[in-house]
Amino acid sequence: MTGTAQPTGRCYCGCGKQIGYGRYFAAGHDKTAEAAFLAIHHGGTVAQMLHAHGYGPDDTKSVTKTAVEKGLWEECPFGCGYRGARESIVNHVNRYHREK
Protein backbone atom coordinates (compact mmCIF):
# COMPACT_ATOMS: atom_id res chain seq x y z
CA MET A 1 0.00 0.00 0.00
CA THR A 2 1.15 3.50 -0.76
CA GLY A 3 -0.03 6.96 0.14
CA THR A 4 -1.90 8.12 3.19
CA ALA A 5 -5.06 6.52 4.56
CA GLN A 6 -8.15 8.55 3.81
CA PRO A 7 -11.55 8.38 5.53
CA THR A 8 -14.04 6.54 3.32
CA GLY A 9 -17.25 6.72 5.32
CA ARG A 10 -16.81 3.10 6.47
CA CYS A 11 -15.01 1.86 9.55
CA TYR A 12 -11.35 1.00 8.90
CA CYS A 13 -11.49 -2.10 11.12
CA GLY A 14 -13.35 -3.80 8.29
CA CYS A 15 -16.68 -4.26 10.06
CA GLY A 16 -18.48 -2.37 7.28
CA LYS A 17 -20.20 0.09 9.62
CA GLN A 18 -20.94 3.49 8.14
CA ILE A 19 -19.36 6.33 10.12
CA GLY A 20 -19.33 10.11 10.17
CA TYR A 21 -17.47 12.35 7.77
CA GLY A 22 -13.73 12.58 8.35
CA ARG A 23 -13.60 9.61 10.74
CA TYR A 24 -11.72 6.37 10.28
CA PHE A 25 -13.36 4.20 12.96
CA ALA A 26 -16.65 3.63 14.72
CA ALA A 27 -16.38 4.26 18.47
CA GLY A 28 -13.92 1.81 20.02
CA HIS A 29 -13.14 0.05 16.75
CA ASP A 30 -9.66 1.61 16.53
CA LYS A 31 -8.65 -0.51 19.52
CA THR A 32 -10.26 -3.59 17.98
CA ALA A 33 -8.27 -3.06 14.76
CA GLU A 34 -5.09 -2.40 16.73
CA ALA A 35 -5.50 -5.63 18.73
CA ALA A 36 -6.17 -7.64 15.57
CA PHE A 37 -3.12 -6.15 13.84
CA LEU A 38 -0.91 -6.96 16.84
CA ALA A 39 -2.26 -10.51 16.92
CA ILE A 40 -1.60 -11.03 13.20
CA HIS A 41 1.81 -9.39 12.95
CA HIS A 42 3.37 -9.34 16.42
CA GLY A 43 2.07 -12.23 18.51
CA GLY A 44 -0.46 -9.97 20.17
CA THR A 45 2.06 -7.86 22.08
CA VAL A 46 3.28 -4.29 21.82
CA ALA A 47 6.71 -5.45 23.03
CA GLN A 48 7.09 -7.71 19.99
CA MET A 49 5.99 -4.90 17.69
CA LEU A 50 8.56 -2.52 19.20
CA HIS A 51 11.26 -5.19 18.97
CA ALA A 52 10.42 -5.78 15.29
CA HIS A 53 11.08 -2.08 14.64
CA GLY A 54 14.39 -2.02 16.53
CA TYR A 55 13.17 -0.58 19.84
CA GLY A 56 13.84 -2.08 23.22
CA PRO A 57 13.88 -1.50 26.96
CA ASP A 58 17.15 0.41 27.24
CA ASP A 59 17.55 4.12 26.58
CA THR A 60 19.67 3.62 23.44
CA LYS A 61 16.71 1.88 21.74
CA SER A 62 13.87 3.76 23.44
CA VAL A 63 10.79 4.48 21.34
CA THR A 64 9.84 7.38 23.64
CA LYS A 65 13.35 8.90 23.40
CA THR A 66 13.16 8.62 19.61
CA ALA A 67 9.81 10.44 19.62
CA VAL A 68 11.44 13.27 21.61
CA GLU A 69 14.48 13.36 19.30
CA LYS A 70 12.19 13.64 16.27
CA GLY A 71 10.38 16.58 17.88
CA LEU A 72 7.09 14.69 18.15
CA TRP A 73 7.11 14.40 21.94
CA GLU A 74 8.69 16.34 24.81
CA GLU A 75 10.48 15.50 28.05
CA CYS A 76 9.34 16.72 31.44
CA PRO A 77 11.04 20.08 32.08
CA PHE A 78 11.66 18.99 35.70
CA GLY A 79 14.00 16.19 34.62
CA CYS A 80 12.05 13.29 36.10
CA GLY A 81 12.33 11.25 32.89
CA TYR A 82 8.67 11.39 31.84
CA ARG A 83 8.16 11.70 28.08
CA GLY A 84 4.95 12.35 26.19
CA ALA A 85 2.94 14.49 23.83
CA ARG A 86 2.74 18.18 24.77
CA GLU A 87 -0.70 17.79 26.34
CA SER A 88 0.53 14.81 28.39
CA ILE A 89 3.50 16.85 29.63
CA VAL A 90 1.17 19.65 30.77
CA ASN A 91 -1.03 17.16 32.65
CA HIS A 92 2.02 15.42 34.14
CA VAL A 93 3.56 18.68 35.37
CA ASN A 94 0.25 19.79 36.89
CA ARG A 95 -0.17 16.46 38.65
CA TYR A 96 3.36 15.70 39.84
CA HIS A 97 5.33 18.94 39.97
CA ARG A 98 2.92 21.57 41.24
CA GLU A 99 3.85 23.46 44.35
CA LYS A 100 1.92 22.02 47.27
Give residue-wise pLDDT tens across range 16-43.
999 999 999 999 999 999 999 999 999 9
In the predicted model, is pLDDT for residue 84 greater than 90? yes
Share the mean pLDDT of the chain. 96
DSSP conformational letter for 10: B
Q: Read off the pLDDT band of 100 (50, 70, 90).
A: low
In the predicted model, is pLDDT for residue 1 greater than 70? no
What's the CA gap between 87 and 100, in Å, rounded? 22
Percent above pLDDT 70 for the chain: 98
